[in-house]
Amino acid sequence: MAKSPTNRTDARDRVRGALALSAVGDAIGLPCEAAGLRGEVSEWPGENDAWPLPLADTFRGPEPDPWNIWAPAGATAGLRGVVSDDTAIRVGLVEPWLEHTREHGTPATEDGFIAWLRHRPPDTVAWLERVTADSTRQWLGMFDGPDQASSHAACGNDNTPCFYRPGEPACFGYFLYLGLALRDTALPAEDVFRKHADFCRLDQLHGRAVTGLLAAWLATTAQRDSDSGLFGTWTDTARRIDAVVGLRPEVTTPLAFAVDELGVQNRSARPYEFLQMLKRRLYDAPPPTSDHSLKPFDPLLQLTQLLACLAYADGDGLLALRLLAHGPGDTDTLAATMGMLAGAQLGHERLLASPCAEALRTTDATTRHLFGRTLEQRVAAVIGSADQHTIA
C-alpha cells in the first residue's frame, strides 16, 4: 500500500499530479469529443492501447479554435497528446492571471480575472496571441452580458459557439477555476463549497452547487493527509457539505442514483456495455434544456456521469478517466475533471509508476512545446513556488 503523503513536498506532488493528469484526460477525451457531443460511445481501446493518444492530424480540423484545439494544424502536425480548450484556457489565461495576482499581491477574485482579461499582456507567439485574444473576447462577451437573451448576443457574433443561456446551467465555474481549489486544502469542505459556489457569475441554478461540490472534493483530495480513496473522499465531502450547508433534493437525488443504479449495479458489465448503458439512461432521454446542444454541458449531468463511472470502477480514478474519455457527452471536459481529482489523489510520482506514465510524459511534452510553459511553472502559478508557504 502506498504511504500517505506527510510533508510539503508530497502536497506539491499532489498538485503536480492533478494538473498533469487533467491534461492527459483532456488529450485522451479530445479525439472522442465530436462523437460524445452527439451522445455516442466511442470504441473501447484494447489493453495494449489503454491510454490512446492518436496523432492530432487524424482528428482535428485545419483551423485553430478557442473552443477546441488552440494551435493551428501546422503546429500540431505529427504530435500526440494535444490538449483542447479545457487545458489551454488554464495554461493560457487562468494561470497567467494567478501569476499576476501573486506578483501584485492582489486577491484571486473573478472581478480581478475579468479586469486582467481586459488588459491582458499579449503573447509573443503570433498564433497563440490570435487564439488567446479570440478566447478572451468571447469570455468577456459572456461576462459582460449574462442577462442578454442569448450567448450569441452576449458574444456579439451569431456564429460564435458560446454557451451562456439564461436559466440553463452550463459547466462554467469548474471549467475555468477548478484548479483554484488546490489552493484551499487548509479550509473545511463546507467553506470551500461556499467559496466556489459563489465564485463564477456565469454559474446558474444547480451549476453553483456542482461547482462547489467539485471544488470541495478536489481540495479535500489534495490534502496531504488524505489517503482514503477518491470515492471515500467524495462520500465524506458530500455528507459534510449536506449536513452543514444543506443540498437540495434535485441535486442529491440524481447523485445517489448515479452511484447506486448506474455505477454499482452495473459493475458486472464490460466497459463498452457500461458506456452504452449510460448513453441509454442519460443521453437518449429528452434533453432537460430547450437547446439540445447544451445538454452535454449541464453540470449536474456531468457530475452524475463522473460519479457513475467512478462507482462502476470501484473507486479507480484512472479507469474512470478512461471511461469518461470514451463515453457519451463532453468527453474532454469529463476526463480532464476526473484527471484533476485522480491526479490529486495519487500524486505525480505514483502516476509516473502507473500504466498512464507514457501518456503523462507525452502530453506534458506536447503541452510544453505548444504553450511554452513547464509543469513546474504551472504548479507555481497555482500554489506558488516551492519556497512560498501557500499550502497549509
Q: What is the mean pLDDT of the chain?
A: 90
pLDDT at 111 over 90: yes
Region class of 107: left (phi > 0), else alpha (psi between -120 and 50), else beta? beta
DSSP-based three-state secondary structure for 324 = helix
Average pLDDT over residues 314-335: 97
Q: Which residue segments constitute the domains of the chain, with CATH numbers given?
A: 8-45+55-383 (1.10.4080.10)
Using 50, 70 and 90 to split pLDDT, how confident is the model at 162?
low
- pLDDT for res 47: 78
Using 50, 70 and 90 to split pLDDT, how confident is the model at 228?
confident
pTM of the predicted protein model:
0.93
CA 54 to chain centre: 21
Q: With residue 197 as reference, give the H or E element that holds it.
A: helix 189-197
pLDDT at 330 over 60: yes
- pLDDT for res 2: 39
Average pLDDT over residues 3-25: 80
Average pLDDT over residues 291-302: 84
- pLDDT for res 229: 87
pLDDT at 227 over 80: no
172 Cβ neighbours under 8 A, 6+ residues apart: 163, 164, 200, 202, 203, 207, 211
How far apart are the C-alpha atoms of 57 and 290, rounded to whole Å? 35
For residue 202, what are the CA distances in angstroms to 141, 176, 228?
11, 11, 33
Average pLDDT over residues 161-189: 90
Q: CA torsion, points 339, 23, 330, 170, in degrees to nearest 10? A: 90
pLDDT at 53 over 90: yes
Using 50, 70 and 90 to split pLDDT, how confident is the model at 350?
very high
